[in-house]
Amino acid sequence: MFNQRPLSNELMHALVGAWRLVTWQEILPDGRIQYPLGEAARGQLLYSEDGHVAAQLVSADRARLKQPDWRQASTEEAARAWKEYFGYFGTFSIDEKEQAVIHHVDGAWFPNIEHTQQLRYFRLEGRRLILDADTEWGKVRIIWER
């Protein structure tokens, strides 16, 4: 699903392009903050002018697999690698009134979000894009920077 209506030129210019991960935080009900991929996680978020989105987030300093072929990874190696990565791709639309971007997920590392609509409230602060979401496990804040 592509954008339902054209975005304002200003919003399109501000959103489209490549973003570098600053931080991915889970905000717990008691106010504590956790970092799903660690405080030094790396990542990239891409929005294209024709309505595509791709997000890739990864733990820093991941251990390499013992074999060059990922299909030969041991069960333990595969489990570790799976928990150190988060990514998906699809299309996006914007609800300007709600200040929300909706990621329409076509494919993902986490199969439970495939074919779902992931709502992210956004705000732009200088060179930063802040995405907030309410998930089944709590509040999430992901900060990106150009």
Q: What pTM does this model have? A: 0.89
d(CA 78, CA 75): 5
| Residue 74 reports pLDDT greater than 80 | yes
pLDDT tens per residue across span 14-46? 899 999 999 999 999 888 999 999 999 999 999
| Residue 8 reports pLDDT greater than 80 | no
Q: Where in the chain does DSSP place strands (E)? A: 17-27, 33-34, 42-47, 52-58, 85-95, 100-108, 117-125, 128-135, 138-145
Domain count, the chain: 1
pLDDT tens per residue across span 76-93? 999 999 999 999 999 999
What does 24-47 look like in DSSP terms, one character per residue? EEEE-TTS-EE-TT-TT-EEEEEE
Element at 51 (helix H, strand E) = none
Q: Please state, for a pLDDT cut of 70, what percent of the chain lies above it.
A: 94
Range of the domain at 13: 9-63+74-145
| CATH (domain of 81) | 2.40.128.280
